[in-house]
Structure 1
Amino acid sequence: MKYNKTAMTKLINEHRELHDELKRIKKDMGLEKNLAIKALYHSAVAEEGPYMKEYQELERNQ
């Protein structure tokens, strides 16, 4: 499974907790938005993360 910015952005927009986590990552780590989204992907989606199935579904529907 590869990182897809469009699918990840849709997933963040559909889940308030991911949106809040993105804001926290940006603030705490001082990352720009694109890097924070990648970090969130690796923590919440990749490697059997809790949002992996939803992410895969979004990728298929693009």
Structure 2
Amino acid sequence: MKYSKTIMTKLINEHRELHDELKKIKVEMGLEKNLAIKALYHSAVADNGPYMKDYQALDRLH
């Protein structure tokens, strides 16, 4: 599965808990938004993460 910032942004907008996690990552790790989104992808989507199926569904629509 390939990372897409556009799809990740849609996924974050659909799931409040991902939005909150993104804010937490930005603050705790001091990352800028784009890097924080990529980190969130690797923790919540990639390698059978809890949001992988939702991400794949959005990917098919995109």
Q: Same fold (TM over 0.5)?
A: yes
**What fraction of aligned residue pairs are identical, expressed as a percent?**
81
1:53 and 2:35 equivalent? Answer: no
Cα distance in 2 for residues equivalent to 1:17 and 1:54: 14
Tell me the TM-score normalized by structure 2. Answer: 0.99
Secondary structure of the structure 2 residue equivalent to 1:22: helix
Instruction: Report deviation, 1:46.
Output: 0.1
Instruction: Report deviation, 1:34.
Output: 0.1
Gaps in structure 2 of 5+ consecutive residues:
none
Tell me the TM-score normalized by structure 1. Answer: 0.99
Alignment: residue pair count: 62
When the two chains are superposed, the root-mean-square deviation of aligned CA atoms in Å is 0.3
Instruction: Report deviation, 1:32.
Output: 0.2
**1:35-61 Cα shifts (integer Å, max 9, x gaps):** 000000000000000000000010110
Gaps in structure 1 of 5+ consecutive residues:
none
Superposition misfits of 4+ residues, deviation over 6 angstroms: none
